[in-house]
């Protein structure tokens, strides 16, 4: 059994290698042919020759001039080859048609040059230019050949009108061939224009007969096979109708071709699922049925031969050709793939640019950090003594005696005094060295100047310290921005992962449960960050998304999945759209209670519960300085800025420092606010506490009460603060109690407020967060006989394990979804 499995796997690997090698060879051969065609301008040469031969109603040649003038604007580099090909094709029909074509091309070239001089280099006047050129050239040729009559004038007018229409068609179709981008799907009118161009080319093969077999029929059916195989029944039928119509204009006796090609194209397209064999069988059956309706055995025989030749050419056509055609047809897998490739390239380029900016911010952060952390080891003693001596010794009459003859003694004495002033901050009570004092005649002035220089040096050092701290804060902020941008770049690349296989698995599993699914889009399968969007017909309020879809995904993904968002009966087509995401391991229930000082409406305290969107929940309380509106605005502003920074992905310490620097620089008034922040990871229950000037928090775990404290000044007082982070691991059932100083400091007659608060929390018999918050607020207010002496806010959160509402649904025969690996 194991041997057979190994042989099977080896055979599959060998088959994949052979297939990849064949695909590579086909691509190489196809690329070489494409390069040769482009190098030798084979396409303009062949198209010009066939359009030069093409006739309508056996005497009109409306194709040459529109093609030449459109190519003048699109591919002027091959204009000479285009003109020669048109003339050569016209001469293969007859000499008069060839001479007429030469005259038309000369006049068309002259007209285009004149339009260039008038600065008309676009297609806005091209159709009118074609009409004038055809009318003048045909009328001039008829005059030269003495063929001017009413019939000739009518035919010239008809040809001019056809040229006008063909110009519009050629502008569309030739732009597709020469300018279209591979990821842009064609519109319906563009597809029709392209088919008309191809059918017009086939009119150049009218009357090409080989042993009674019409090349016109072979090529038209080959074209039908390609489009039916690529676009299905709708495209096949449309191509058949348009091709048959154009060919019947060139050959009036071929009106039957419209019915034959339309019916055969529809039948071939309907059998597209059968591959090349199915499409070929559909064309063969369709042509055979309509040939039988013709009633002649000879017609049936030649029709089958022509269809067989078209089928052989179609089967021999390399996949490169029809895949290139399929890239332009909307709705085909090739077009979808090309569009996805383009979006992937755009996504990679965007992610690369963002990563470059991230690297730039990282480099800037390093440069600031190096400047900030660099230990400036300078010898300040010589500079200090130099400045002191400049104001005291430079104009002294004993300068030469002290600094040239007794240099060492003078320096040691000055250095002794400098050490004393740095040690004590003053020279009051300091006795100078006896030898130095005996020689110096300006002792008092030296001591005074040295103290002044010391004060100046201290102020300068303080300024340098502040600059150093500011640089370090800027370095941290730049580093945080760099990290956020780098994470964003990785997120963009993660969104571009190919998850079509997993989408098909999910669709198959849902259909196996009896649900009708319209669309499944998987945005992420990363563990803990699953994001899936599913659309299905409306369930009429039966909650299929929560009862069936989410439990089924829970089973095949191996983690709890919940419905994050749903839109039932909100779509115009009566569909139900649901967004499913990973459920968190833990969930939080919140309770809040608060009161303003003296029972007023506006409290200076603010609180915020923030879902940061990355599996983390933030709880924060801020107490503004004082009471009333100003305190409220200050605390609210601090929490607003903090929320924006945290949601952007910034580190919590950098976020706090940034808020502090903004509040400190925003106003010259003394405005500050406390911040009590708790960041809870809902996957692990790991919690990080940051307390900036705030009161302790408490964690009630059964009968135990744990105190969490940290000593930091409120934000907005100092330009630089140290942020201490306290980490704790919470457990299911824990109650986290956070409060403002109005709650904690209310019992003023109690010395050990922390012990009192622990006792009050420990005595609470309920574990409902809202009841706990209300009871704590009530007990504190009762301590003051019902008076509210300060703004009070208490926030309580209970940590519980997440329990899904519905158990997982086992899907028989469904394997676990393979999570793609994310490479950074």
Structural Rg of the chain based on CA atoms: 43
Could you tell me the pLDDT band of residue 626, with boundaries at 50, 70 and 90? confident
**CATH for 188-330, among 1.10.260.40, 1.20.1300.10, 1.10.10.10, 1.10.1760.20?**
1.10.1760.20
Residue 21 parent element (H or E): helix 2-39
Could you tell me the pLDDT band of residue 181, with boundaries at 50, 70 and 90? low
Q: How far apart are CA 688 and CA 711, in angstroms?
A: 15
**Exposed e or buried b per residue across 200-233, where buried means at least 16 C-beta atoms within 10 angstroms of its C-beta:** bbbbbbbeeeeeebbbbbbbbbbbbbbbbbbbbb
Q: Residue 329 — φ and ψ, nearest 5°?
A: -90, 120
Under DSSP, the state recorded for 601 is: S
Could you tell me the pLDDT band of residue 342, with boundaries at 50, 70 and 90? low
Q: How far apart are CA 535 and CA 531, in angstroms?
A: 14
Specify the pLDDT at position 114.
82
**SS3 sequence, 171-232?**
HHHHHHHHHCCCCCCCCHHHHHHHHHHHHHHHHHHCCCEECCEEHHHHHHHHHHHHHHHHHC
Q: Residue 332 — φ and ψ, nearest 5°?
A: -80, 155
Q: Is residue 377 pLDDT above 70, yes or no?
A: no
The answer to whether the 188-330 and 586-799 domains have the same CATH topology is no
Instruction: Please list the residues that pair with 620 across neighbouring strands.
Output: 608, 677
Angle, helices 407-424 vs 380-392, to 10°: value is 110
Specify the pLDDT at position 619.
92
Residues 6+ apart with CB under 8 A from 233: 265, 266, 267, 268, 269, 270, 272
Q: How far apart are CA 296 and CA 300, in angstroms?
A: 6
CA distances from 423 to 73, 430, 533, 685 (A): 88, 11, 71, 51
Q: How large is the average pLDDT for residues 201-230?
A: 82
Specify the pLDDT at position 771.
92
SS3 of residue 617 by DSSP: strand
pLDDT digits (tens, 9 = 90+) for 111-157: 888 887 776 556 677 888 888 888 888 888 888 877 778 888 888 88
Q: Are strands 673-681 and 616-624 parallel, antiparallel or unpaired?
A: antiparallel
Q: Is residue 797 pLDDT above 90, yes or no?
A: yes
Q: Is residue 564 pLDDT above 60, yes or no?
A: yes
Instruction: Please list the residues that pair with 377 across neighbouring strands.
Output: none
Specify the pLDDT at position 568.
67
pLDDT digits (tens, 9 = 90+) for 701-749: 988 999 988 776 666 555 556 677 888 999 999 999 999 888 888 777 7
Low-confidence winner among 67-81, 509-523, 792-806 (lowest mean pLDDT): 509-523
Q: How large is the average pLDDT for residues 813-821?
A: 60
Residues 6+ apart with CB under 8 A from 781: 595, 746, 787, 788, 792
Pick the more confident residue, 824 or 416.
416
pLDDT digits (tens, 9 = 90+) for 267-294: 888 888 888 888 888 888 888 887 777 6
What mean pLDDT value characterizes the chain?
76
Could you tell me the pLDDT band of residue 666, with boundaries at 50, 70 and 90? low
Residue 506, judged by CB atoms within 10 A of its CB (0-12, 13-18, 19+), counts as buried
Pick the more confident residue, 382 or 410.
410
Specify the pLDDT at position 61.
84
pLDDT digits (tens, 9 = 90+) for 1-36: 333 434 344 444 444 444 444 444 444 555 566 566
Q: How far apart are CA 722 and CA 692, in angstroms?
A: 9
SS3 of residue 1 by DSSP: coil
Give the start-to-end residue ranges of the domains of the chain: 36-179, 188-330, 349-369+376-494, 497-580, 586-799
Which strands form 616-624's sheet, in the order they lie side by side? 605-611, 616-624, 673-681, 686-692, 725-729
The DSSP code sequence of 119-187 is: T--SSTTHHHHHHHHHHHHHHHHHHHTT--SHHHHHHHHHHHHHHHHHHHHHHHHHHHHHH--TTSPPP
SS3 of residue 794 by DSSP: strand
Is there a contact between 243 and 223 (Cβ–Cβ < 8 Å)?
yes
SS3 of residue 58 by DSSP: coil
Specify the pLDDT at position 460.
77
**CATH for 586-799, among 3.40.1000.10, 1.20.58.220, 1.20.1260.10, 3.60.40.10?**
3.60.40.10
By C-alpha distance, which of 657, 343, 675, 624 is closest to 470? 657
Low-confidence winner among 176-180, 454-458, 621-625, 736-740 (lowest mean pLDDT): 176-180
Residue 379: CB atoms within 10 A of its CB come to 7
What pTM value is reported for the model?
0.51
pLDDT winner (highest mean) among 177-181, 364-368, 634-638, 652-656: 634-638
| Dihedral angle of Cα 66, 67, 71, 74, to the nearest 10 degrees | 80
Q: How large is the average pLDDT for residues 655-664?
A: 73
Specify the pLDDT at position 770.
93
**Chain centroid to CA 253:** 57
Q: How large is the average pLDDT for residues 318-327?
A: 70
Pick the more confident residue, 239 or 466.
239
Instruction: Please list the residues that pair with 687 across neighbouring strands.
Output: 680, 728
Residue 28: CB atoms within 10 A of its CB come to 11
């Amino acid at each position: 059994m194991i041997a057979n499995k190994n042989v099977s796997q080896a055979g599959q690997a060998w088959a994949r290698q052979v297939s990849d090698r064949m695909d590579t060879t086909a691509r190489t051969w196809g690329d070489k042919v494409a390069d040769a065609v482009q190098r030798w301008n084979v396409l303009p040469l062949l198209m010009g020759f066939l359009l030069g031969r093409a006739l309508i109603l056996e005497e009109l040649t409306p194709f040459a001039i529109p093609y030449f003038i459109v190519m003048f604007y699109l591919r002027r580099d091959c204009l000479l080859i285009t003109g020669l090909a048109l003339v050569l094709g016209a001469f293969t029909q007859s000499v008069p048609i060839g001479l007429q074509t030469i005259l038309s091309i000369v006049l068309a070239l002259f007209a285009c040059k004149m339009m260039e001089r008038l600065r008309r280099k676009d297609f806005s006047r091209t159709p009118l230019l074609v009409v004038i050129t055809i009318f003048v050239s045909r009328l001039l040729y008829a005059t030269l050949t003495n063929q001017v009559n009413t019939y000739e004038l009518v035919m010239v007018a008809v040809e001019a009108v056809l040229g006008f229409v063909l110009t519009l068609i050629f502008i569309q179709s030739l732009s597709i061939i020469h300018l279209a981008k591979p990821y842009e799907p064609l519109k319906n009118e563009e597809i029709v224009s392209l088919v008309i161009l191809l059918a017009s080319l086939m009119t150049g093969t009218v009357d090409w007969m080989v042993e009674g077999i019409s090349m016109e029929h072979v090529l038209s059916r080959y074209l039908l096979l390609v489009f039916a195989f690529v676009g299905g029944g709708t495209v096949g039928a449309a191509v058949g109708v348009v091709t048959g119509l154009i060919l019947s204009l060139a050959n009036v006796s071929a009106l039957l071709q419209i019915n034959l090609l339309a019916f055969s194209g529809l039948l071939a397209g309907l059998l597209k699922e059968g591959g090349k064999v199915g499409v070929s069988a559909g064309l063969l059956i369709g042509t055979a049925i309509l040939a039988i309706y013709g009633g002649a055995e000879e017609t049936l025989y030649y029709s089958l031969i022509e269809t067989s030749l078209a089928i052989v050419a179609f089967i021999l056509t390399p996949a490169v050709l029809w895949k290139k055609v399929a890239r332009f047809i909307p709705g085909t897998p090739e077009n979808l793939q090309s569009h996805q490739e383009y979006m992937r390239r755009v996504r990679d380029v965007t992610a690369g640019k963002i990563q470059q900016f991230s690297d730039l911010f990282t480099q800037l952060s390093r440069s600031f950090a190096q400047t900030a952390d660099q230990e400036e080891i300078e010898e300040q003693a010589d500079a200090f003594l130099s400045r002191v001596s400049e104001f005291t010794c430079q104009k002294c009459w004993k300068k030469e005696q002290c600094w040239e003859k007794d240099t060492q003694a003078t320096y040691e004495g000055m250095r002794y005094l400098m050490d004393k002033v740095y040690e004590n901050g003053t020279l009051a009570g300091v006795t100078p060295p006896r030898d130095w004092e005996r020689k110096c005649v300006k002792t008092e002035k030296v001591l005074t100047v040295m103290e002044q220089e010391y004060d100046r040096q201290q102020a300068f050092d303080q300024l340098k310290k502040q600059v150093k701290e500011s640089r370090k804060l800027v370095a941290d902020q730049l580093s945080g921005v760099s990290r956020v941008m780098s994470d964003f770049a990785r997120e963009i690349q993660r969104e571009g992962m190919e998850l079509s296989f997993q989408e098909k698995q999910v669709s198959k599993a849902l259909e196996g449960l009896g649900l009708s699914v319209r669309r499944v889009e998987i945005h992420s399968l990363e563990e803990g960050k699953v994001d899936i969007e599913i659309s299905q017909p409306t369930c009429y309020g039966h909650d299929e998304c929560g009862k069936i879809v989410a439990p089924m995904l829970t089973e095949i993904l191996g983690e709890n999945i919940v419905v994050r968002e749903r839109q039932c009966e909100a779509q115009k087509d009566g569909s139900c759209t649901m967004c499913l995401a990973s459920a968190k391991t833990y969930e939080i229930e919140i309770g809040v209670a608060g009161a303003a000082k003296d029972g007023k409406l506006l409290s200076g305290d603010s609180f915020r519960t923030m879902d940061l969107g990355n599996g983390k929940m933030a709880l924060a309380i801020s107490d503004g300085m004082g009471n009333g509106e100003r305190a409220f605005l200050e605390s609210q502003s601090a929490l607003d800025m903090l929320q924006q920074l945290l949601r952007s992905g910034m580190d919590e310490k950098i976020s706090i420092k940034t808020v502090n620097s903004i509040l400190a620089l925003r106003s010259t008034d003394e405005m500050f606010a406390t911040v009590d922040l708790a960041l809870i990871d809902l996957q692990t229950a790991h919690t990080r506490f940051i307390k900036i000037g705030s009161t302790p928090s408490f964690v009630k775990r059964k009968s135990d009460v744990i105190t969490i404290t940290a000593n930091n000044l409120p934000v907005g007082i100092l330009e630089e603060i140290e942020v201490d982070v306290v980490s704790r691991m919470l457990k299911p059932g824990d109650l986290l109690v956070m409060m403002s100083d109005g709650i904690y400091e209310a019992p003023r007659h109690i010395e050990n407020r922390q012990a009192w608060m622990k006792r009050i929390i420990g005595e609470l018999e309920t574990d409902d967060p809202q009841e706990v918050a209300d009871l704590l607020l009530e007990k504190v207010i009762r301590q003051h006989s019902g008076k509210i002496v300060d703004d009070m806010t208490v926030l309580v959160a209970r940590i519980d394990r997440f329990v899904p509402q519905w158990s997982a649904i086992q899907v028989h025969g469904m394997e676990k979804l393979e999570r793609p690996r994310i490479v950074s």
